[in-house]
Structure 1
Amino acid sequence: MSDKILEFITDYMQAHSLSHDMDDIRYIHFGYNNEQSEADLNQLRARKKSAGFVAKEWFEIQNLKLPKVGLTLVFADYHGMPKAVGKVTHIKMVAYQDMTENIANDIAIGDGSLAQWRAKRTGSLIESCNDAGIVFSKHTELLVYWFELLLSPQDQAV
């Protein structure tokens, strides 16, 4: 972990009386492959990305509590290297078939359109569901989380 990110996380958690358990901090790996990871990090750098998503059932299968507003997020690249820190500001459950243009724009895949989100993320969403033993369908409930950046990729450039 980058020294600057580790120092930032430690200071932030102490200043807000948070612990390093899964209730207060989560590590988010961007992308299901290196190409997706770099694209997501580039959108963070450009401050276009303000939301992410995951199949809600993934938390149940992993026996994890659902994220909550205020949760600290450490965004990592495909290789697990931390690149940015954020805080969850809003959470919404959305069925895959009900994803909207506005939400897709906040997730910022490609040009931010719903068509790009479906084209670039449906395959990896299906694959990650399969890996977790989740049966994917158009009714699969997604947990969409919005965040504010506390430490961006350019803030901790090497």
Structure 2
Amino acid sequence: MNRKTVPIIIGIAAVGMIVALTPSVISNQTNMASRRDRVGQLSMDLEQSKMEMELSTARKQLAEQRYKEGAVFVVNRENTFISLNEDTPIIDRLTGNPLPKGTWVADIYGNTAELDSEGIPVNFAFTGNSDLVREALERANKNRQFAGIENQMQPGGRDL
């Protein structure tokens, strides 16, 4: 073999290797881009989960504050405890008028809300602290802190 042929053979071999490896390199780059996208998505999901956890903790603290500071428990016409509902105005049982805007209301299930100007519960918050709910209910029983709902029909024709 002559000296001029060796560099040509090496060059041809190098070009051949590059051609042979190109699909593998492209595939690896595609996989890396896909992995980067997946890591980015997981990072965003984790950040979203953290934000939701912080919001949940803040709402729990808000609900507990409402129970501690005298939220009014909601009952129906038969004085049976009911769950708070976003669509049901809370009324003063003596006057039949909606309770004032900003009044805190609660149910025995750990749900609390603030009333808007029409007596509709908004800004819901929940706590799973059943001991706190029980204590607040005992305090409400002593102070007769209960509010009613308007006479509305449930599905199936039963009064609330």
- The answer to whether the superposition gives a TM-score over 0.5 is no
TM-score (norm 2): 0.23
Structure with the largest fraction of helix: 2
Higher relative contact order by CA 8 Å / sep ≥ 6: 1 or 2? 1
TM-score (norm 1): 0.23
Structure with the largest fraction of strand: 1
